[in-house]
Amino acid sequence: MYVARPIEWTDRGVVMLDQRRLPGEEIHHTYTDYREVARAIREMVIRGAPAIGVAAAMGAALGALHSPAKSIEDLRTEFAEICEVLAKTRPTAVDLFWALERMKTRFSALAAQTTDLNKIKQGMVAEAQLVHLEKKATDEAIGRFGAELMPKEGQVMTQCNAGALATGGIGTALGVIRVAIEQGKKLHVLVPETRPYLQGARLTAWELHRGGIPLTLITDNMVGHILKTGNVSAVVTGADRIAANGDSANKIGTYQMAVLAKENNIPFYIAAPVSTFDLTIPDGDHIPIEERSAAEVTHLQGVRIAPEVHAAHFAFDVTPARYIAAIFTERGVARSPYRESLRALAAAPQPVSSASCSTV
């Protein structure tokens, strides 16, 4: 089955598939400067929480690799600045900050082991590649856990794009659907367009179609009607940040979908890696919600579709935990009460170990 590859580390640099141009064109860019990677994240060349994390890790590695620093101390100072620049790209997806923390930890460990700058640089590149490999293995584990809760046959609704394009693996929500289909389940995916950026229409529809997975594209304002009348067995989405009590931020529109799913007795599931947990915040009120340019609302592919009025563009919303039937992770399935189940999963051993990934 076709799996999109949004990002790769190569000898030439970090290669990204430009998601702004899909589905019309498949254009790749090669970045050799971490500032270009930061810009690519901010401008949505790459998007989706786990893929943003992979991009940040690779950006940090690129910055270290090409640093002109002549001493460890200079490299340490420059590396902190590199991480700062990458951290300022998008505020909601916690995988970005998780990946940068991980790269900082690796930098400190390497700097404590050797004074050879080249070894440190190569170690940072290896760590970024490992982050990517781990994401791939993580998605497959999420997919296996989630597939068990998918119906044998029926319609499943998703939101935005939580597929390969959003993770660098097989996807989280779409990974669950993919694994279920590979197991022989007969699923049909309902794909809301996901205004204003159209990740559903442009990206999820493209990925599913290329993978031969049956789908129906709907407009966002059909969601309630279809959940009430459309024989939907489950909803499964990704997440950008999950607070300690289970409140989950995801693409704008997810909250209303979850409320309407509950109203119609349809289970609403989230599929996300443990790196999406933010157990430092008690609930969803503490999740920063990205506000993007109003031009992305007033214009469609560069064409103005509204008069010159004020427009709001909240990119995410928070679904309260009470609407979430379960959260699929690579370490198992969390259920309410989430304060306990998320803490237990965060403390559980990672099934996707660095050692197993290095031999992939």
Looking at the annotation, which residues are catalytic?
Answer: 240
Alpha helical stretches, state H, the chain: 34-42, 49-65, 72-87, 94-113, 117-147, 164-167, 173-182, 205-210, 223-229, 254-263, 295-298, 338-347, 354-358
Instruction: Transcribe 148-194 into DSSP letters.
Output: TTS-SEEEEE--S--BHHHHSSSBSHHHHHHHHHHTT-EEEEEEE--
175 binds ligand MRU (CB under 6 A): no
Rounded to whole angstroms, the Cα distance separating 158 from 238 reads 8
Contact 247, 312 (CB under 8 A): no
Residue 250 engages ligand MRU in binding (rule: CB under 6 A):
yes
Distance in Å, CB of 127 to ligand MRU, minimum:
22
What three-state secondary structure class fits 4? Answer: coil
Both tokens of residue 114? Answer: 């050797």
Distance CA 155, CA 261 (A): 13
Pick out residues in 187-216 that bind ligand MRU (CB under 6 A): 199
For ligand MRU, the closer of residues 93 and 352 by Cβ is 93
Per rule CB under 6 A, count of chain residues that contact ligand MRU:
18
Paired tokens of 171: 């996807």
Residue 320 CB neighbour total at 10 angstroms: 17
- Is position 220 an interface residue for ligand MRU (rule: CB under 6 A)? no
246 binds ligand MRU (CB under 6 A): no
Among 120, 166, 258, 266, binds ligand MRU (CB under 6 A): 166
**61 vs 257 by CB, closer to ligand MRU:** 257
CA–CA separation, 277 and 63 (whole Å)? 27
50 near ligand MRU, judged by CB under 6 A? yes
Residue type present at position 321: A
* Identified binder of ligand MRU from the candidate list 89, 167, 319, 341, rule CB under 6 A: 167
Of 96-104, 209-217, 232-240, 318-326, which part binds ligand MRU (CB under 6 A)?
232-240
Which range, of 9-17, 44-52, 64-72, 125-133, touches ligand MRU by CB under 6 A?
44-52
Stretch that binds ligand MRU, among 27-35, 48-56, 185-193, 208-216 (CB under 6 A): 48-56
Q: Which of 162, 205, 218, 261 binds ligand MRU (CB under 6 A)?
A: 162
Give contact residues for ligand MRU (rule: CB under 6 A): 47-50, 93, 160, 162, 166-167, 172, 199, 237-240, 250-251, 315
